[in-house]
Amino acid sequence: MDKFATLEPVRLYNPTATPPPPPSSSNPFSLHRPTVAPPIRRANAPAPFQLIGRLPVDVHILVLTHLAVPDIPAYARCSRALANLARDERVWEARWNAFAVERNKLADVLDALEDKLKVQNALDRGHAPPTLATESLDDDFGDFASVDTHPAQLGDFVGGFSFSTPAVPTFGQGQQTFRAQYIRAHALLKPLLSALSAPPHAVLSSLFPSPTPPLRDQAHTLRLLSRFLSQDVKPLRDWAKLASALRAAIDRFEDGLLTAFDVADGKGDERGMREAAEASWEVWEGPGAEWELGKVWAEKLEIFYEQSRWKPLDNFTNDAELDFTAMDGFLADILSALEEHGARAVRVFPSDANVLISFADRLANEVVGEYISSLLTRAREISNEVFLKATAASFKEAWRMVDTIVQVAAAKDSDFPKTKAEDVVYRMFEPNMDEYLDEEVEFVKQSFEMTCRSWEKQLSEHALPTDTTPNAETARFLGSHNPAQVKRTVLASFTDVLLLPVTIVPRTVGKAVGAALTTGGSAAVQGISMLNPQRWGGTGTSGNGSAGGGGGGFPFARMSSWSANGKDGYVRDFEKGGDGMLFDIGADEDEEPDATNEKADNVAAPEATPTNTARSSIAARDSLSSMTSLDSTKTNPKPPGLDNLDLLLSLDTALELIHADRESLKRAETFSGYPGTYGHRVRDTIEEIFVLLLQALGERHIKPGFDTAIESMKSYKPAEHEETKSVAPLLQFFELVHIGDTMQSMIQVYFDKELAPHIDRHDFLNTVVREKKHFEDVLDDCVAGGLNAATDALMNQVEHIIQKLTKPREYYPPEDSPLELGPTEGCREAIKCLQMHCQLLRGSTSKEVLEVFYQEVGIRLIAILQKHLKRQIISLSGGFQVIADLNAYHAFITSLRVPTITAEFAYLKMLGHVYVVEDAKDLAQIVRDVTRYGGAYRPEDIYEFIQRRSDWKKIEKTVDKTMYNLSFKEDCVLC
């Protein structure tokens, strides 16, 4: 049992062992027992969920945090647990953080006060004998003595100090807890509070006696005192009264700073201005109000009172057109003032005050904003189009302030965020955004409606009587040597059109255009007209150079007049001189030289004239149009009507729609950087503008054109037309398919170039992506429905050609006639017709659609040939003619490269052998061989074909006997 130690009783609530208190040598007459300095953190601190009384620890800490400091001792006397909790670091951390010493860099103030207090105490001790302090023992802190004692003897809470000779508590580096730091700040700041009891005019002189410290030090002291007498700290019971007196002193101090700043400003003393501004900024309360000193400085500037110098209406010419030359001068003055006064604001005021941004905000709203508002009001009175152009141009001009602000701010802060400068312009322009975005969408709808109605009116005015015979040679797209190559070149030229410049900010020709936003589009009128298929070259042209075929020149004749007369309010960079040739339809790099030469003969390309102006280009184009119309009149004196199906779609109309859409899109893109709600609205507007284009082009232009073409092809009757080489409606429909495919390709190019940067093209739920898919589906459905009608028309024509050109005894020639092994005329013409129309469809539809079309043509051609053979009487010599024709058809089908119908025609070609077999028994064996034709023809089918032989009556019995083993004499009994 000796090895077990004796258990000793342990006292509850026994604090951690602490060193014995040092003797109180400084004041042996203290009425209070000295206590031990508290530890930094109690090891056995209560857990947050532990209850003290009926409340958890966290609630008690929250109560202690909001109590005034003098009330903490009373709360702590309730129990030892609360007394220990009152020393918890969480209580004092909140109070110390309320000072914001580190954040506001006020530690130097405390150090200076401490040094000053040490000097004062040393002087007092040197000139006065030691005396017993006679102040009241019950001060604001409660039960603490006002004594000069060792820090370890201060007791559980902060000691009280007299206002006459305050002691300076000092702490070791190991005890710099939040509580210790607060005790130090409290002891240093409390003696200053007596000055707040002086009359209001004498508070500042009491706080800062002679020699007066610098303004910056005074501001820091006042700032620290304001934090000390705040609701978060509550150092005294009457803190609110003292805080009110301090606020009055600070206001008086700010008034003195404002006077000093004005005096320094009048003398041009930036150093004095900077000192007063920094001191004023230190004592300013911050959020919730505008800094008075910065506001007063800005109000004195003359730029805010000179608005009568500039007249917004000078931006309109006598013809009510836009000319922003006046705005250039206005903004030059604004930017000069912004640069001059902004640079001074950066040098004088603290960076955190954001005086530069405040000044720029006021300048933008009160001067630039008012100027733009008057300008837009006048533009709205003229027309919606002028209003939209003026809005985008005004915003682009005002955007020049951003670069100036960033440039000025970078002189002091190289990391100045550009977004702050951008927000100045964004906030200034917000009042105009709602009206602009709504009007932009409405204007696009009206423009599209006007273009579509213009095209419909043009079609109705150029309609011909129903008895007018269309000319197949009027196809312009297909008349070129290589339609697919021409299409690629046109798309390349269209891409160049998208890069042509247009000035969002209109100015007079010859003025500086450095601030103009060149986005392309308006000058594209010169190039758009060159996309007219009538000018691509070919075997023939339309009789009216401004209509059709993709030629709707009427809308673009109107647009060219806009360009020439300046009716659109723009002054284009194109008019300043440049390349008069916008398109050069030539060979691609991978095209053969011979093909290039042949194509060069067919494709009309204007010559390049680098020094031409816009007017000379327009004149050259008009001259080319008149020459084209003159040549066309010689070959086709009648204007094209609705029977020319390729004239039901107009590339010019499509390009005009794209042009109008792109102008609106580019105006909206000017605001694409807008943050917040308006940024979302701008992006939605950009998407809606493109969706309106797809709807107008698909539902108002492409679909009606294809519907009319399909109805025309369904009503086509080959027998009513002398032409047998081609089917005019079908030829024109293929032209229509090429034009529709070109429109789709242009939309794709336009989408990739202009809209893809604004949306996620892989988001299948996006409105633009869905509408684009719907547009493609509409075109595909139109082409598919048209191909069905086209196939019927084509095969009716082929059947008509075969019937018309096949002579009565084509396959039963006289015995003395020479044998010709070539295909018949009907066969040759039918194959030519098929070849021409199948060739025209290549390059305008997908491979899958083309294969389906070829397969349908092959299936129907087999049925026509079978029907044709069963209609003929074929001799042995005529059988060779049948084989020659079938071989020709097989060769044509093989060229289409569709395996399914190629096999079918191979069996049909073998079928011709039944007409050249002389021996009836051999013929019967051929008929009975079910494997010979791969299951394509049954014996009964072959039997029908051999019945068309001229010697059938002679060989019928032999064939029947061999096939069915029948003999009427042997197998039949007559009763």
More confident site: 133 or 286: 286
C-alpha R_g of the chain:
49
What pLDDT does 35 receive?
43
Task: List pLDDT tens digits, range 433-453.
Answer: 999 999 999 999 999 999 999
User: Which range has the worst mean pLDDT, 103-107, 282-286, 431-435?
Assistant: 103-107
Residue 755, both tokens: 């809209």
Q: Where are the alpha helices (DSSP H) in 364-482?
A: 369-382, 384-398, 400-409, 418-461
User: How many Å apart are CA 655 and CA 697, to the nearest integer?
Assistant: 10
User: How many Å apart are CA 743 and CA 740, to the nearest integer?
Assistant: 5
User: How many Å apart are CA 951 and CA 165, to the nearest integer?
Assistant: 149
Question: Is residue 424's pLDDT more than 80?
Answer: yes
DSSP structure class, residue 301: -
User: How many Å apart are CA 486 and CA 532, to the nearest integer?
Assistant: 12
Task: List pLDDT tens digits, range 295-320.
Answer: 888 888 888 888 788 898 988 988 88
User: How many Å apart are CA 820 and CA 260, to the nearest integer?
Assistant: 120
What pLDDT does 194 receive?
81
Question: Residue holding tokens 């950087």?
Answer: 673
Question: Is residue 149's pLDDT more than 80?
Answer: no
Q: Can you tell me the mean pLDDT for 523-538? A: 41
Q: Classify each residue of 15-47 as buried b or exposed e, where b means 16 or more C-beta atoms within 10 Å of its C-beta.
A: eeeeeeeeebeebeebeeebeebbeeeeeeebe
Residue 372, both tokens: 């733009």
Name the nearest CA neighbour of 443 among 658, 680, 660, 691.
660
Residue 328, classed as helix, strand or coil, is: helix
Q: Which residues have CB under 8 Å from 97's CB, separation 6+?
A: none
Name the nearest CA neighbour of 911 among 943, 877, 951.
943
What pLDDT does 479 receive?
53
Q: Which residues have CB under 8 Å from 382's CB, separation 6+?
A: 316, 320
Name the nearest CA neighbour of 357 among 394, 397, 408.
408
Exposed (0-12), middle (13-18) or buried (19+): which is 836, by Cβ within 10 Å?
middle
CA angle 792, 794, 799 (to 5 degrees): 95
C-alpha dist (Å) from residue 877 to 94, 803, 890, 906, 946: 118, 21, 20, 21, 14
User: What DSSP string runs through 372-403?
Assistant: HHHHHHHHHHH-HHHHHHHHHHHHHHHTHHHH
More confident site: 686 or 472: 686
Q: Which residues have CB under 8 Å from 518's CB, separation 6+?
A: 501, 502, 503, 504, 573
User: How many Å apart are CA 407 and CA 514, to the nearest integer?
Assistant: 18
Question: Residue holding tokens 């003292």?
Answer: 242
User: How many Å apart are CA 66 and CA 557, to the nearest integer?
Assistant: 81
User: Which range has the worst mean pLDDT, 425-429, 592-596, 869-873?
Assistant: 592-596
User: How many Å apart are CA 312 and CA 314, to the nearest integer?
Assistant: 5
User: What DSSP string runs through 630-641?
Assistant: HHHHHH--SPP-
What pLDDT does 574 receive?
32
Question: Is residue 520's pLDDT more than 50?
Answer: no
Q: Which residues have CB under 8 Å from 104's CB, separation 6+?
A: 223
Q: Which residues have CB under 8 Å from 111's CB, separation 6+?
A: none
What pLDDT does 601 receive?
41
299 with 368: CB under 8 angstroms? no
Task: List pLDDT tens digits, range 552-609.
Answer: 433 333 333 333 333 333 333 333 333 333 333 333 333 344 443 443 343 333 333 3
Query: How large a percentage of the chain has pLDDT more than 70?
Result: 69
Residue 911, both tokens: 């079928």
862 with 758: CB under 8 angstroms? no
User: How many Å apart are CA 400 and CA 330, to the nearest integer?
Assistant: 12
883 with 913: CB under 8 angstroms? yes
Task: List pLDDT tens digits, range 932-967.
Answer: 888 888 888 888 998 988 888 888 888 888 777 655
Q: Where are the alpha helices (DSSP H) in 806-846?
A: 825-841
Question: Is residue 94's pLDDT more than 90?
Answer: no
385 with 664: CB under 8 angstroms? no
Question: Is residue 1's pLDDT more than 90?
Answer: no
User: How many Å apart are CA 844 and CA 838, to the nearest integer?
Assistant: 11
User: Which range has the worst mean pLDDT, 246-260, 416-430, 618-632, 843-857?
Assistant: 618-632
958 with 924: CB under 8 angstroms? yes
Packing angle of the helix pair 292-299, 270-283 (nearest 10 deg): 140
User: How many Å apart are CA 684 and CA 768, to the nearest integer?
Assistant: 10
Residue 86, both tokens: 């009152």
Q: Is the dihedral of CA 412, 417, 418, 423 positive or negative?
A: negative
Beta-strand relationship, 55-56 and 51-52: antiparallel
The pLDDT confidence band at residue 478, using thresholds 50, 70 and 90, is low
What pLDDT does 462 receive?
63
User: How many Å apart are CA 396 and CA 666, to the nearest integer?
Assistant: 12
User: What DSSP string runs through 53-98?
Assistant: TTEEHHHHHHHHHHS-GGGHHHHHTT-HHHHHHHT-HHHHHHHHHH
Any idea of the CA torsion for 481, 724, 640, 607, to the nearest 10 degrees? Answer: 10
More confident site: 482 or 782: 782
User: How many Å apart are CA 485 and CA 489, to the nearest integer?
Assistant: 6
